[in-house]
Amino acid sequence: MTLRIATQLQYAGNPRDAADQVGALERAGLDSVWVAEAYGFDSPTLMGYLAAKTETVKIGSAILNIFSRTPGALLQTAAGLDNVSGGRAILGLGASGPQVIEGFHGVPYAKPLGRTREVVEIIRAGLRREPLQSDGIFQLPLDKEHGAVTGLGKPLKLLTRPERSSIPIWIAALGPKNVEHTAEYADGWIPHLFHPEKAADVWGESLAAGAAKRPADLGPLQVMAGGMLAFGEGPETKALLDLARPLFALYVGGMGAKGRNFYNDVAKAYGYEEEAEKIQDLYLEGKKDEAAALVPTEWLEAANLVGPESYVKERLAAFEAAGVTDINVIPASDDPVATVARLRDLIG
């Protein structure tokens, strides 16, 4: 196997405690650590802290949304993190969803596809220290409609020299068109709640269409997906999988209103139409435990790596066969470092 090992910074309250453990995971064989943002602590602050605590592990955002920061601000963040980490930054971007963008940031959730592409183009140009210009959504320099007078704003380039002139940009995408665009111009793809055996049916055409337009100099699309990791047998295995139910229910049931929940759409595309409807209804009614109980066990088993070593190895092979290059694991054990080390030995 050639899979790289990734993990997401997990914390309940104080992220410093979790960040302080990443160094030990790095020594155990971890290749990258990713920091979520959603509407909790901001990701860049924690990523900078991780850069000071680690030496070789790559540090990625998973994800920074493309609505609450300007392209220039995202450029500054990427360049700054790459500098303090010595060239270990990965910029994970995504459109997020209406609930977070409108409900937390107070920004209209408009034109996510065009906005994502334009943000990526501007950031890449900025890292090459080209003046930030755009005639699309952002209108750089601004015109009257966007709050300034054309001609008065001179396009500026990044003041400081970045560590690298190109930083990998990964995109979290689920919708068919968004996945197609990701396969066309992003360095990597981050699909959430990934089912390896069903992925080709859901996204195969989109990935192929995007790959057909992909510039050769980008290289192959990298893909990060995975879930809970635990080695064990017997009843404790089912008990561990049950721990993942609330997370699946949160996304399928609670991340958006009816008709505006991308994760619910994915569940239906996987073939769980009836369950997705019921999970959303129950979750929106506040019956979260009942919603979690309806998450298909088949999905939990496929999306996570929980069971005997032989089964975990089967799941790794399934993820790799589905195009995954980076297996994103959440160690569910009393000794996460030993669990990651065991996984490293299994992968080779």
What are the tokens at 35? Answer: 């920091």
287 and 313 fall within a common domain = no
Give the total number of structural domains in the chain: 2
Question: In angstroms, rounded to a whole number, what is the distance separating the alpha carbons of residues 315 and 327?
Answer: 10
Among left, alpha and beta (phi > 0; psi -120 to 50; other), residue 193 is left
Indicate whether 237 belongs to any domain.
Answer: no
**Residue 78: what residue type?**
A
89 and 108 fall within a common domain = yes
| CA nearest to 323, candidates 190, 217, 227 | 190
- Following DSSP, what letter does each residue of 95-154 receive, concatenated? ---HHHHHHTS------HHHHHHHHHHHHHHHHTT----BSSSS-BSP-GGGTS-TTTS-
What are the tokens at 140? Answer: 């750089």
Indicate whether 67 belongs to any domain.
Answer: yes
Indicate whether 236 belongs to any domain.
Answer: no
145: Cα separation from own chain's centroid? 33
Position 152 confidence tier, pLDDT thresholds 50, 70, 90: low
Position 332 confidence tier, pLDDT thresholds 50, 70, 90: very high
The structure tokens 């080209």 sit at 130
pLDDT at 140 over 80: no
Mean pLDDT of 233-252: 91
Domain hosting 57: range is 4-229+304-347
Mean pLDDT of 269-283: 98
Mean pLDDT of 329-341: 96
Indicate whether 239 belongs to any domain.
Answer: no
Helix (H) or strand (E) holding 112: helix 112-127
Question: In angstroms, rounded to a whole number, what is the distance separating the alpha carbons of residues 92 and 112?
Answer: 15
214 and 79 fall within a common domain = yes
Indicate whether 91 belongs to any domain.
Answer: yes
308 and 292 fall within a common domain = no
The structure tokens 């509407």 sit at 39
Cβ atoms of 151 and 169 within 8 Å: the answer is: no
308 and 251 fall within a common domain = no
171 and 313 fall within a common domain = yes
Indicate whether 296 belongs to any domain.
Answer: yes
* pLDDT tens per residue, range 25-34: 999 999 999 9
Mean pLDDT of 45-49: 96
* N- to C-terminal Cα separation, the chain: 7
* pLDDT tens per residue, range 283-297: 999 999 999 999 999
**Residue 244: what residue type?**
A
Q: For residue 267, what are the CA distances in angstroms to 86, 153, 176, 198, 272?
A: 39, 46, 14, 10, 5
261 and 223 fall within a common domain = no
What is the pLDDT, as a whole number, of residue 326?
Answer: 98
For residue 63, what are the β-bridge partners? none
Indicate whether 240 belongs to any domain.
Answer: no
Question: In angstroms, rounded to a whole number, what is the distance separating the alpha carbons of residues 221 and 228?
Answer: 24
